[in-house]
């Protein structure tokens, strides 16, 4: 176990916000969590991964926990399904690269998403038509209230769009391991625009082909956290009622002409998901600058630390500018996907 007081969190958030916490604890096993003297730690207690979905808005007066559980156990290397128990501290993309290399299907569409496996199960990360909830069989946790180990089945995890049961419980459950079910039998998900075009003439020979295609597409659109600070998509894509969507169509025709095309995705319940990026761009905010922060030119859903020294106030002001502009034009209130912590 590593315990450091007055710890610098700057390298532990991909936005590269400058912030410190009163205490930082990295544990290497569930046994270390069980042996922890919880009462002596500064409160509140929060868990982070690689800080790739966080905006640190200031110093944190409590304790930041971090997982150092980095084991990957293949439970059955049979001919069909392959269950794998992945430690919460495993960098998610290292795992995806490894299983694609073994020819196992299921995780390839989720290539190159930053962050750790524990956080991925909390966030229900998703990309190119797949969510991690689709391939999770169960999650093992340490319950900070009851101070004991607990297990959740996939159903109990309550997965939804970038949502899970864990997000509703105020940090009560520390994810320690994620049981992922992969397959030797191809389970291709290539319907998403971009992938569909790449594999239109020739099916992928294996999951590594899909991984490479996903990486190429992502690199062309998204900032590399090693080069440009961000927390990925800053806003959630709003899901609106059919009546609200009809109103958005009217507004768009009035403002952008009768031929305007509004990208949208009809949900199983009849509601409609509208890409926030489209709305932000139509508000003229692509590339908008606020202090050291900016709306990313290649993907307006992303706010970047353009100067390298943007403050949390710059990002918060830009966030509010975007929310106000989209609400004023389309009557839709965007909510941030990025969590604010400070
Ligand atoms: C360039 C870029 C691209 C991105 N692309 C995508 C994408 O395509 N799809 C997508 O879904 N996301 C994407 N993201 C967002 C981000 O990568 C995911 O949300 C990721 O799962 C966050 O992982 P993390 O380890 O950084 O977690 P953090 O940001 O540190 O934490 C996220 C949440 O998980 C909680 N948490 C972390 N670890 C644990 C644990 N062990 N137990 C309990 N709670 C925990 C934290 O308290 C917090 O609530 C992107 C981000 C960036 C910077």
Pocket-testing residue among 123, 139, 299, ligand 1, by greatest number of atoms within 8 A of Cβ: 123
Pocket-testing residue among 33, 53, 120, ligand 1, by greatest number of atoms within 8 A of Cβ: 53
Residue 123 in 3-state DSSP?
Answer: helix
Residue 222 is predicted with a pLDDT of 95
Cis peptide before 128 (omega within 30 of 0): no
> Any idea where the domains of the chain sit in the sequence?
2-67, 72-221, 229-341
Say yes or no: do domains 72-221 and 229-341 share a fold: no
- The lowest-confidence range among 27-36, 184-193, 214-223 is 184-193
Residue 269 is predicted with a pLDDT of 92
Residues with CB under 6 A from ligand 1: 14, 46-54, 67, 88, 113-116, 118-120, 122-123, 125-127, 162, 171, 174-175, 222-223, 225, 230-232, 339
| Fold held by 72-221 | 3.30.465
How far away, in angstroms, is 172 Cα from ligand 1 center? 17
What's the mean pLDDT in 261-283? 95
Phi, psi of 227, rounded to the nearest 5 degrees: -110, -35
Looking from the CA of residue 89, the nearest atom of ligand 1 is 41
Average pLDDT, whole number, for the chain? Answer: 96
Question: CATH for 229-341?
Answer: 3.90.78.10
Question: Looking at the annotation, which residues are catalytic?
Answer: 162, 233, 337
Residue 80 is predicted with a pLDDT of 86
Give the tens place of pLDDT for each residue, 195-214. Answer: 999 999 999 999 999 999 99
| Fold held by 2-67 | 3.30.43
**Is residue 187 very low, low, confident or very high in pLDDT (cuts 50, 70, 90)?**
confident
Pairing state between β 126-127 and 130-131: antiparallel
CB under 8 Å to 169, separation ≥6 — which residues? none
Residue 3 is predicted with a pLDDT of 97
Residue 179 is predicted with a pLDDT of 98
Give the tens place of pLDDT for each residue, 56-98. Answer: 999 999 999 999 999 999 998 878 899 999 999 999 999 999 9
The model's pTM = 0.95
Cβ neighbour number for residue 290 with a 10 Å cutoff: 20
Give the tens place of pLDDT for each residue, 319-332. Answer: 999 999 999 999 99
How far away, in angstroms, is 166 Cα from ligand 1 center? 13
Give the tens place of pLDDT for each residue, 115-168. Answer: 999 999 999 999 999 999 999 999 999 999 999 999 999 999 999 989 999 999
Number of H helices, E strands in the chain: 8, 20
């Amino acid at each position: 176990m590593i315990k450091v007081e007055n710890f610098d969190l700057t390298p532990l958030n991909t936005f590269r916000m400058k912030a410190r916490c009163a205490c930082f604890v990295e544990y290497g096993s569930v046994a270390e969590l069980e042996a922890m003297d919880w009462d002596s730690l500064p409160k509140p207690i929060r868990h982070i991964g690689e800080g790739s979905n966080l905006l640190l808005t200031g110093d944190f007066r409590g304790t930041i926990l971090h997982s150092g559980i980095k084991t990957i156990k293949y439970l059955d290397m049979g001919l069909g399904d392959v269950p794998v128990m992945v430690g919460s501290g495993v960098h998610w993309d290292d795992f995806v690269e490894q299983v694609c290399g073994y020819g196992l299907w299921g995780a390839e569409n989720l290539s190159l998403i930053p962050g750790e496996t524990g956080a991925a199960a909390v966030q229900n990360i998703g990309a190119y038509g797949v969510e991690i909830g689709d391939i999770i069989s169960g999650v093992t946790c340490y319950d900070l209230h009851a101070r004991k180990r607990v297990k959740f089945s996939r159903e109990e995890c309550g997965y939804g769009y970038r949502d899970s049961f864990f997000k509703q419980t105020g940090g009560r459950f520390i994810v320690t391991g994620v049981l992922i079910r992969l397959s030797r039998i191809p389970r291709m998900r290539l319907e998403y625009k971009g992938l569909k075009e790449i594999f239109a003439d020739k099916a992928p020979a294996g999951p590594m082909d899909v991984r490479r295609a996903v990486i190429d597409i992502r690199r062309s659109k998204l900032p590399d956290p090693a080069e440009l600070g961000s927390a990925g998509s800053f806003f959630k894509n709003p899901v609106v009622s059919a009546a609200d969507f009809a109103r958005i169509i009217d507004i768009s025709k009035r403002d952008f002409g009768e031929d305007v095309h509004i990208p949208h995705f009809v949900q199983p319940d009849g509601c409609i998901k509208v890409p926030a990026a489209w709305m932000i761009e139509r508000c003229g905010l692509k590339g908008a600058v606020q202090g050291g922060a900016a709306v990313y030119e290649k993907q307006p859903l992303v706010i970047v630390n353009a100067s390298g020294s943007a403050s949390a106030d710059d990002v918060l002001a830009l966030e509010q500018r975007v929310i106000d502009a989209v609400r004023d034009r389309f009557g839709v209130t965007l909510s941030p996907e990025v969590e604010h912590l400070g």
